[in-house]
Chains A and B, each alone.
Chain A
Amino acid sequence: MNLKSLLLRRSIEILVVFGIIMTGLFLLFHAAPGDPISMMVDLTMTPEDVERMVAQLGLDQPIWIQYLYYIKNFFTGNFGTSFHYGRPVIEIISERLPNTILLFTTATILAAMAGVWLGKIIAWYKGKAIDTWTTIFALVCNTLFLPWISLLFIWFFAYWVGWFPLSGMMTPEIWVNPEAGFFAKAVDVLHHMLLPLLTLFIVNTGSYLLIMRSSMLETIKEDYILTARAKGLSEKQVRNRHAAPNALLPVVTSVGLSLAFSVNGGALTETVFSWPGIGRELIFAVSNSDYPLAMASFLFIALVVLVANLIVDILYAYLDPRISY
C-alpha cells in the first residue's frame, strides 16, 4: 500500500473516530446530572432566575435540536460562549493551547535528545556496571510520581533555593512595567518555564533513554554493523554513523505519541505549576459544569492526539520502508 492511500485511509478513520468522540462527549455531558445554572449556590438566585437563564441559554430545548446546534456550531468554528467567562470558547482555547504546546513540546524535544544521546552511549556498555546503574536510574526517574515530584521541586528549587518563580507563567511586576521590553518579557516567561521543564525533562529523559538503549541493542546485532566494524571504522563512528540513526525509529514514534499524550498527563503538571494551559482549563471547566468550554477543550485535545497519531503513522511508514499497512 502506498503512502497516499495510507494517508487517505487513516484520515477517514480519524474523521470517523472524531465524529464518535464528538457525539459521545455530547451525550455524556447531557446524561450527566447537574447543569451550570443550578451550580450557583447563591441564595439570591431564585428558581425563576434559574428558569430564565436556562431558557435564554437554550438548555431547555429538546436534546436533538441541541445536538444539531452543536454540530453546526462546530463546523462553523463557533464553539459557543463559556458560561463562566462570558467569552467565546474559541478565544479562551486559543489563549491556553499555545501555552500547553510551548511547555510540552520543548520538554519532549529536550528530553528526547538527551535520552537518545545517553541511550546511545549506554548501549555500548551493555553488561557493565555503568549500564546497569544508568538503567536503574532511568527507571527510577521514569516512574517518579509526577505531581508529587513536581511539588517537591517547587518546594526545593523555587522556595528553598529560590532559583525559580513559584508558579505561573509571568512575573506581573515585569509585565506591567512599561519600560520592560520584549526581551525582558521573553526571559521572564522562560524563567517561569524552567522548573516545569526540568521536572518533565527528568521524568521523560529516563523513558527515552530506555527506548534508545533497547533499540540500539537490537540494531547492534544487525549484519551491517558487523560489516562496518569489519571495514575498520572506529567504535565511535560505528555507533554514531551506523547504529544510532537506525535505532532512532522507535524514539521518533514515541516522541510523536508522547507529545500527543502530554496534554493528557499535562493536566496534572499544569495544575501543580499553575501553568495556564488547556489541561488545567479543562479540569476547571468540567468541575464547574462550564459545558461549552469543557467540551471544546476536550475536542481540541482529542484532535491534537488524533493528528499526532496520524503524523506518527505516516512518519513511520516513510522512515521504515519495511512497514506496510
Chain B
Amino acid sequence: MTITSNRHAAYSMENVIDKKTRRSYKRQRFSAGWSLFYKNMVGKIGLYLLILFGAMALASYIPPLVDPMYHPMTGVDPLISYASPPSWRHWLGTDNIGRDIFSQLLTGARVAFLVGVSAAFISIVLGTLIGMIAGYGGRIADSLLMRFADMIMVMPSLLVILLLSVLFGQLSIWIIVILIALFRWPAVARVIRSQTLTLKKRPFVDMARVAGASHIRIIFRHILPNVLPMALLYMTFRVTSAIIVEAALAFLGFGDPNTVSWGMMLQWVWKTGHMFQAPYWLLPPGICISLITLSFYMMGRAMEEVLDPRLRKIQKADYAAS
C-alpha cells in the first residue's frame, strides 16, 4: 500500500519536476537567447532606438492636449504663418503654414509603426500561411503557389504601387499598407515552405498523423510553432521595407494626404520650396526614417544570430527591392 502510494507520489513528483524543468528550460533558453541578443552591440543599439521611437509614438498624443495649435495636421500657430526656426514655443520650428514640426515628427513615429508593423504583420501572416500550405500540401499546391510567389517577387513593387496610386487617385494609408503587404509575402513564403518541408519529414509530424490529427491541426499545432521564430525574424525586415515604401510614396506625393508621416513631411518641405532653406524641417524626418529602418534592421540581424546562424542567408535582394 505504502509502496504503491509512494510510487504514485514519486511518479507525480517526477511529473511536476518534468513540467517545471521544461518551463524553466524554456525560460533558460529565452534568457540565453536574450543575453546573446543583448550582448550583441548591433541588437542593443537597435533596441534602444526602437524604444526611443516607441516613446515618440506614445508621446505624440501629448502635444495636441497641451494646446490645439500643436495638432500636427490642423493646428496652426496663430502668430506664425511662415516656416520658423526652432524656438521655445516650437522645439523644432514650424512649417510654412505654422504647424509645429516637433509634434508632426512625433505623429510620424506613430504612423511609421502603424504602417510598418501592420504591413509586416499582414505579409507575414500571408507568407507563413501560404508557405506552410505549399510545403505541407505537396506537388500541385506547392508548384502553383510557388510559381505565383515567384511572379509577385519579380514585380517592381514600388512602381506597381505607384502606378496604382496614380491611376486610382490618392490611396488611403490602409490601402497602401495592404498593397505593401501583398507584394511582400513571397520571400517569407519561400523560407517557410522550405522549413515546412524539413519539418514534414520529422517523426513528431508522422506521429501526430498516426494519432489521427487532421491536416489543419498538424499545420497549426505542430508546424506553425516551429516556423514562428523564423516568421517573426522576417517580420522585422518587412517592417523596414514597408516603412521605406510608404516614405518613398509619400515623398513623391502619392501618400495619404490625411496622415502626417515622415515621408509626407519631406514632401511638404520639398514641394513648398523650403528644401535648402529650412534644415530644421528637412533633417528631422529624413533622420527619423533612416534611423527607424536602421533600428528594425539591426534588431532583425541580432535576432537572426540568436535564432540560428544557419538562417543567416536572408534574401538580400528582397531588401534591395524595397
A and B touch in the complex (CB under 8 A): yes
Given known A151-B275, A211-B316, contact A135–B240 (CB-CB < 8 A): no
The answer to whether B41 and A136 touch across the interface, beta carbons within 8 angstroms, is yes
Contact between chains at A143 and B240 (CB < 8 Å): yes
Give residues 177-196 of A contacting B (CB, 8 Å). Answer: none
Please tell me if B317 contacts chain A, counting CB pairs below 8 Å.
yes
Quote the shortest CB–CB distance from B194 to chain A (angstroms). 13
Q: Are A268 and B251 in contact (CB under 8 A)?
A: yes
Q: Specify which of A34, A132, A159, A207 is in contact with B41 (CB 8 Å cutoff).
A: A132
Contact assessment for A309 and B154 in the assembled complex, using a CB-CB cutoff below 8 Å = yes
Bound form: Cα–Cα A287–B170 in Å: 12
Q: A136-B41, A218-B312, A282-B159 are in contact. Are A207 and B320 (CB under 8 A)?
A: yes
Q: Judge whether A250 and B316 touch: CB under 8 Å.
A: yes
Closest residue on chain B to residue A305 by CB atoms: B154
Q: Give the chain B neighbours of A139 by CB distance below 8 A.
A: 42, 294, 297-298, 301
Minimal Cβ-Cβ distance residue in B for A263: B156
Q: CB of B109 within 8 A of chain A?
A: no
Docked Cα-Cα span, A306 to B158, in Å, equals 16
Closest to B245 in A: A265
Given A207-B320, A254-B317, A263-B156, residue A155 in contact with residue B276 (CB < 8 A) = yes
For the complex, count residues of A whose C-beta is within 8 A of B: 58
B157 close to chain A: CB less than 8 A: yes
Q: Which of B115-123, B160-168, B173-181 lies at the binding interface?
A: B160-168
B199 at the interface (CB under 8 A from A): no
B252 interface residue per 8 A CB criterion = yes
Q: Which of B18-26, B69-77, B82-90, B285-293 touches A?
A: B285-293
Q: Are A258 and B166 in contact (CB under 8 A)?
A: no
Name the residue of chain B whose CB is nearest to the CB of A132. B41
Q: Tell me whether A267 is interfacial, beta carbon within 8 Å.
A: yes
Does A268 contact B252, Cβ atoms closer than 8 Å? yes
Q: Is B155 among interface residues, defined by CB-CB distance under 8 A?
A: yes
A28 within 8 A of B: yes
Residue of A139, A148, A215, A257 with most partner-chain B CB within 10 A? A148
- Say yes or no: A20-B156 contact (C-beta < 8 A), given A135-B42, A136-B41: no
Question: B167 to chain A: which residues have CB within 8 Å?
Answer: 28-29, 32-34, 286
- CB 8 Å contact bits of A288-325 with B (1 = contact, 0 = none): 00000010001001100110010000000000000000
Interface string of A192-205 (1 = CB under 8 A from B): 00000000000000
Cα distance A268–B251 in the bound complex, in angstroms: 9
Q: Which residue of A lies closest to B304 (CB)?
A: A214
Tell me whether A145 and B289 are in contact in the complex, defined as CB-CB below 8 angstroms, given that A136-B41, A254-B316, A283-B162 are known contacts: yes
Closest B residue by C-beta to A204:
B320
Please report the C-alpha to C-alpha distance between residue A250 and residue B289 in the assembled complex, in whole angstroms.
28
Complex interface: chain B residues within 8 A of A282 (CB) = 159
For A28, A145, A268, which residue has the most chain B Cβ atoms within 10 angstroms? A145
Closest 7 CB pairs of A and B: A257-B317, A148-B286, A32-B167, A264-B156, A258-B320, A143-B294, A145-B289
**20 pairs, CB–CB < 8 Å, chain A vs chain B:** A29-B167, A33-B169, A136-B298, A139-B301, A144-B290, A148-B251, A148-B289, A151-B282, A218-B309, A250-B313, A253-B317, A254-B320, A258-B317, A264-B157, A265-B321, A268-B248, A283-B162, A283-B166, A294-B163, A298-B163
20 additional A-B residue pairs with CB within 8 Å, beyond A261-B320, A265-B322: A17-B151, A17-B154, A28-B163, A135-B42, A139-B42, A143-B294, A144-B290, A147-B266, A148-B266, A148-B286, A149-B286, A152-B282, A214-B312, A218-B313, A257-B316, A264-B321, A265-B321, A287-B166, A301-B159, A306-B154
Residues of B within 8 A of A (CB): 41-42, 45, 147, 150-151, 154-159, 162-164, 166-169, 240, 244, 247-248, 251-252, 266, 270, 275-276, 282, 285-286, 289-291, 293-294, 297-298, 301, 309, 312-313, 316-317, 319-322
